[in-house]
Structure 1
Amino acid sequence: MLLNQGYVPCNKQIHIKIPENELQMIHDRMEKIGVKNMSAYIRKMAIDGYYIHIDFSELLEIIKLLKIDSNNINQIAKVANSCGTVDGKTISDMKENHERVLKKVEKTFNKYLDIY
């Protein structure tokens, strides 16, 4: 994954000639990993020889689930503070949902750890 670590002026040029099919292969690989800047892609490949693209959509989903989970906990805390008690079914449902979120977190992070 290319990280923008500050602007570095690029004032030197390299010109290469490639056949149409190889250009198409480069475009296909760029599209596959979600890169739009050909210059950055080619520099990264020439220097490091690899390009890692990680899809963070699962992590964004986890963040969403954690926000929902936190909101549910806050709602139960408000009810408990105002009424003094919360029924067992509500707590049981919240605990079940929380366990589901934690399992998804663990599964997703294990998947990302396997990359390294």
Structure 2
Amino acid sequence: MTNRIQNERLEIKLTEEEKALFEEKRKLSKCRNMSHFIRKCVLEKEIYQVDLEPFRDLQGLLSNATSNINQIAKVTNTTGVIYKNEIDSMNKQIEKLSKEIWHIHSLLLNKSKESSGDSMAITKIHRNCVKLRKSSFL
């Protein structure tokens, strides 16, 4: 992209706060001027689209887990008895949920530019979440 004629103009309106933030970020980027900063942001930065479906699945799983915990707590408070298999089942479910959450977290932190790998991994998470949803807690 060297030796190009830059004859197109863009104009934007900002609040004072937005302009101050813009200038602060421009200075941190070490760009020469606003034009250079905007070109760098637009032309050199990747845009990632994140599929939120796995998060929705996890939210459902967490809701189911908390509901089951509340049911166990109610029975335990009423009868004074809790069964080991109930505790073991809940611990396994919590462990599975924790692993899924950490896996999603690591995907989001991954700076890889290979988007096909990310989308395949997110699809795998989605399938795992569906499997977890179908399994029973108790």
TM-score, normalising length: structure 1: 0.55
CA distance in 2, matches of 1:91, 1:53: 39
- Structure 1 residues 115, 55: CA separation in 2 closer, same or farther (over 3 Å shift)? farther
* Residue aligning to 2:42: 48
Aligned with residue 100 of structure 1, among 77, 96, 101:
96
* Residue aligning to 1:91: 87
Unpaired runs of 5+ residues, structure 2, are: 1-40, 113-138
Task: Tell me whether 1:71 sits opposite 2:63 in the alignment.
Answer: no
Calculate percent identity across the aligned residue pairs.
Answer: 26
Please tell me the residue identity of whatever aligns with 1:87: Y
The Cα RMSD (Å) is 2.4
1:52 shift after superposition: 2.3
* Residue aligning to 1:113: 109
* Residue aligning to 1:60: 56
- Structure 1 residues 115, 57: CA separation in 2 closer, same or farther (over 3 Å shift)? farther
Aligned length: 74
CA distance in 1, matches of 2:66, 2:90: 10
Alpha-carbon deviations, 1:53-109, whole Å to 9, x = none?
111111111111111111111111111111111111111111111111111111111
* Residue aligning to 2:15: none
TM-score, normalising length: structure 2: 0.47
Determine which structure has greater relative contact order: mean sequence separation of CA pairs < 8 Å that are 6+ residues apart, divided by chain length: 2
> Which of structure 1's runs of 4+ aligned residues deviate more than 6 A?
none
Alpha-carbon deviations, 1:19-53, whole Å to 9, x = none?
xxxxxxxxxxxxxxxxxxxxxxxxxxxx7234321
